[in-house]
Amino acid sequence: MHPSPEHTTEVMRGIVGTVFPILGAVTSWQEHLEWGLRIASLVVGILVGLLTLWSLIRKRSD
């Protein structure tokens, strides 16, 4: 049994009504999200570097 065109239209309106406000919020917060991602990336890079250095120092002392 196929859904009626009216049902399909209502589903599409629901999807559009949900997705577009989320996209609007993401767009307005894009600068803040980018800043947060850059800081998170920097922190992860520093942690990886420190863990690598610690691993090298541990291997040399064994």
Q: Which two tokens stand for residue 49?
A: 């570097």
pLDDT of residue 52: 96
Q: Which two tokens stand for residue 55?
A: 């691993």
Cα–Cα distance, 12 to 27 (Å, whole number): 22
pTM for this model (two decimals): 0.54
Tens-place pLDDT, residues 5-60: 787 888 888 888 888 888 888 888 888 889 999 999 999 999 999 999 999 999 88
pLDDT of residue 43: 97
Query: What are the residue boundaries of the structural domains of the chain, listed by start?
Result: 5-61
